[in-house]
């Protein structure tokens, strides 16, 4: 029987020690970059972490930055040295090695490495470790790193992603032309000075016969010993050879080659033939890597990932969270305590540790989604490549327009106090009342800026739109621009995010984090605070009123109104990458996502993704015993019962966008309060009870009708 090992709740859910877990990574387990046979084990490098499969027991172990000593999650390349140590290269986390259960991290904070952007790694015949970094070729020997600047060597290849060692122990690298470094001299091979057929390099590998194979993404295969050159634009008659990214050799000398288009070729010693998979596989596409183990079993990083033992085809099953879509374009925590993510491949719902994906299985027909919004009655909407749909009775149905249209750039949506839908597309802002569509732009309806960015609703239900160097507020009849006079003059004046907290408007930009109270603009950045960088993307407020934000791509920052706390990447468990999305859920977990990073979750008091995971399991959702009348248009009576011998409980009232309207300190084991809804607009609101650690124990929904 197969057994799945999850290290400290790596990707799956359900750990009994969840209260001690402060970081968690949720990533797509599908995208395999490299497969490395290692005796009875198989190592798989992914952008979502490292997988180890034991071929004898079929145990599968997952490693990522949050659940192990591995200093990063996104892996570009792996290799083994003669001592059996595993080496890993990350495009943002540097280099790491795994020796048994011991992890060692190599980065700019603890070595002389020039940067942390490592793309490929290989071991030479003497045990030296070579890696390609941005602008550098580096070698590890003994305990020291030696760096060779490509600028100094005369190389014009600043981001080499392909690396191998040839028969003369020269280091071959490149993605535009081939460079060969022998320790003293750099030799360049391009179409201008050699028979190389194309400068575009998809894959490089040297085989035991001393010949180096070079796959080209836009034109065939080159085979060379750097004295003689052979080029193939076809392997089987009348079938062009294109997009070559993967090949390997079996112990009997047979070769296998795969293309990104989905053609799989086998050379039996005499001729090339095309091989078609058999059941349970209908087809294979997108070959990215081929590996052969000691028993001549083939492993394919493709779609789907699979194996072939010479007789049978099998899918290479690496079960994990089920999450799809590492490119997170939007995060929303809905009023029903559900988290949604939008990505190029569709959307994902996470609720009570259950992940549900809504996307196309066929990668040629992606359902590209961009953002979500929830209306005043708790109905969820999503923007996608040809319109806007809404979620009704667990089914997505089209909302606007009635049929498909090209709406590729809807990046922000929200609903105002009257339940009108607002969204930004391109350079314009739109309002849709269910019947009529109104356009606001620099050239129509007097919008005060040339581009509309993020959207928010203030306490009066009015729309606030981020513009260059400030905000524009719709007062119901016209736009009023409020510009920050201290905003920097740079190429990125964009306001990334807006939030209303009490009577203050907060916004983020490349100038830092800014608070506007209606009179004064106060900006926090690297010039006047401990924030390392000025770039602040999305931000959010936790249950205690602290603001959290991503600063650049490396730092998570907490600001309590007085002090800043900076959590750097190497001190955290977050995925490396452009973490420019951040939202805090009803249990005070901080969710981060972005381009090719999946999701990272952080809670300084311990992660809980459902009420059942809380440390105090006896805390019932019945703390709020009743809230009446519901709906209400006046006074709201809230009766509650707190656990005995516990203090520090608070009650908050928020709208569906997470803006806190009011908060009260609770006392006594059993009591009630009367709350006037005079300052609330019509719509749905959440009544939440939480303790001083931010652990929510009870939430109920109330409708206000005016």
pLDDT of residue 4: 32
Q: How confident is the model at residue 153 (pLDDT cuts 50, 70, 90)?
A: confident
Top pLDDT among 327 and 359 is at: 327
% of the chain surpassing 70 pLDDT: 89
Average pLDDT along the chain: 86
Q: How confident is the model at residue 650 (pLDDT cuts 50, 70, 90)?
A: confident
Closest to 283 (Cα-Cα) out of 301, 303, 299, 266:
303
Distance CA 519, CA 508 (A): 18
Which H/E stretch holds residue 151? helix 150-153
Q: Would the pLDDT of 244 be above 90? A: yes
Distance CA 552, CA 466 (A): 19
Closest to 594 (Cα-Cα) out of 160, 19, 32, 47:
47
pLDDT of residue 402: 65
Top pLDDT among 701 and 419 is at: 419
The position carrying tokens 């928010």 is: 456
Closest to 699 (Cα-Cα) out of 582, 585, 603, 542:
585
Q: How confident is the model at residue 320 (pLDDT cuts 50, 70, 90)?
A: low
Q: How confident is the model at residue 7 (pLDDT cuts 50, 70, 90)?
A: very low
* 425, two tokens: 């597309």
What is the pTM (predicted TM-score) of this model? 0.78
Edge-to-edge order in the sheet of strand 129-133: 118-123, 129-133, 136-141, 144-149
Backbone angles phi, psi at 106, to 5 degrees: -125, 115
Distance CA 554, CA 597 (A): 12
Instruction: State mean pLDDT over 146-166.
Output: 79
Q: How confident is the model at residue 670 (pLDDT cuts 50, 70, 90)?
A: low
Domains in the chain (CATH in brackets) are: 205-271+284-312 (2.40.10), 620-704 (2.60.40.3580)
- Please check whether residue 575 is in contact with residue 73, taking contact to mean a CB–CB distance below 8 angstroms: yes
% of the chain surpassing 90 pLDDT: 51
pLDDT of residue 360: 60
Longest dimension (CA), the chain: 88
Instruction: State mean pLDDT over 291-306.
Output: 94
Q: Would the pLDDT of 364 be above 60? A: no
Closest to 139 (Cα-Cα) out of 150, 152, 123, 125:
123
Q: Would the pLDDT of 501 be above 60? A: yes
């Amino acid at each position: 029987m197969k057994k799945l090992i999850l290290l400290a709740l790596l990707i799956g859910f359900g750990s009994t020690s969840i209260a001690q877990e402060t970081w968690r990574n949720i990533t797509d387990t599908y995208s395999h970059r490299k497969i490395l046979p290692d005796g009875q084990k198989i190592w798989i490098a992914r952008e979502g972490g490292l997988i180890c499969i034991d071929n004898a027991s079929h145990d599968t172990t997952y490693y990522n930055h949050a659940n192990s000593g591995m200093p990063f999650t996104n892996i570009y390349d792996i290799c083994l040295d003669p001592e059996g140590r595993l080496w890993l290269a990350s495009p943002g986390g540097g280099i790491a090695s795994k020796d048994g259960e011991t992890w060692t991290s190599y980065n700019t904070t603890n070595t002389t490495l020039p940067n942390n952007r490592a793309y490929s790694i290989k071991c030479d015949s003497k045990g030296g470790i070579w890696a390609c970094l941005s602008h550098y070729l580096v070698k590890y020997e003994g305990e020291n790193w030696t760096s060779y600047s490509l600028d100094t060597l005369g190389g014009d290849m600043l981001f080499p992603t392909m690396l191998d060692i040839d028969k003369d122990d020269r280091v071959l690298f490149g993605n535009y032309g081939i460079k060969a470094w022998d320790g003293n001299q750099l030799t360049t091979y391009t179409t201008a000075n050699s028979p190389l057929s194309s400068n575009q390099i998809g894959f490089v590998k040297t085989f035991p016969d001393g010949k180096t194979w070079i796959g080209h993404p836009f034109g065939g295969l080159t085979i060379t010993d750097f004295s003689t050159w052979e080029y193939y634009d076809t392997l089987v008659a009348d079938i062009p050879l294109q997009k070559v990214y993967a090949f390997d050799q079996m112990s009997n000398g047979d070769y296998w080659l795969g293309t990104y288009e989905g053609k799989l070729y086998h050379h039996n010693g005499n001729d090339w033939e095309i091989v078609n998979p058999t059941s349970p596989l209908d087809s294979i596409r997108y070959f990215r890597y081929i590996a052969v183990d000691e028993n001549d079993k083939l492993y394919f990083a493709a779609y789907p990932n699979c194996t072939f033992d010479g007789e049978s085809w099998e899918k290479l099953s690496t079960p994990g969270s089920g999450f799809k879509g590492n490119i997170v374009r939007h995060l929303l925590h809905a009023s029903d305590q559900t988290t949604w993510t939008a990505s190029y491949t569709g959307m994902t719902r996470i609720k009570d540790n259950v992940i549900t994906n809504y996307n196309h299985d066929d990668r040629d027909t992606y359902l590209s989604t961009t953002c979500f919004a929830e209306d005043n009655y708790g109905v969820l909407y999503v923007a996608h490549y040809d319109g806007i749909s809404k979620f009704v009775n667990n089914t997505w149905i089209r909302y606007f327009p009635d049929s498909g249209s090209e709406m590729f750039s809807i990046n922000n949506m929200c609903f105002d106090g009257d339940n009108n839908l607002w969204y930004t597309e391109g350079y314009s802002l739109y309002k849709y009342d269910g019947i009529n569509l109104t356009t606001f732009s620099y050239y129509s309806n007097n919008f005060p800026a040339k581009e509309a960015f993020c959207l928010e609703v203030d306490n009066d239900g009015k729309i606030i739109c981020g513009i260059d160097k400030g905000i524009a507020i719709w007062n119901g009849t016209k736009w009023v621009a409020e510009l920050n006079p201290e905003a920097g003059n740079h190429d990125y004046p964009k306001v990334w995010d807006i939030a209303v907290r009490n009577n203050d408007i907060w916004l983020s930009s490349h100038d830092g984090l800014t608070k506007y109270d209606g009179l004064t603009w106060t900006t926090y950045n690297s010039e006047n605070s401990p924030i390392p960088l000025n770039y602040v993307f999305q931000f959010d407020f936790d249950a205690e009123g602290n603001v959290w934000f991503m600063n650049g791509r490396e730092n998570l920052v907490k600001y309590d109104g007085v002090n800043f706390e900076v959590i750097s990447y190497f001190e955290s468990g977050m995925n490396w990458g452009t973490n420019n999305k951040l939202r805090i859920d009803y249990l005070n977990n901080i969710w981060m996502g972005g381009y090719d990073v999946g999701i990272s979750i952080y809670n300084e008091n311990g992660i809980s993704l459902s009420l059942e995971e809380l440390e105090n399991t006896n805390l019932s959702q019945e703390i709020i015993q009743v809230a009446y009348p519901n709906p209400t248009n006046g006074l709201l009576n809230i009766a509650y019962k707190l656990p005995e011998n516990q203090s520090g409980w608070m009650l908050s009232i928020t709208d569906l966008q997470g803006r806190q309207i009011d908060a009260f300190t609770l006392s006594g084991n059993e009591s009630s309060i009367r709350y006037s809804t005079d300052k609330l607009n019509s719509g749905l609101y959440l009544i939440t009870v939480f303790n001083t650690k931010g652990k929510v124990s009870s939430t109920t929904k109330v409708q206000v009708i005016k």
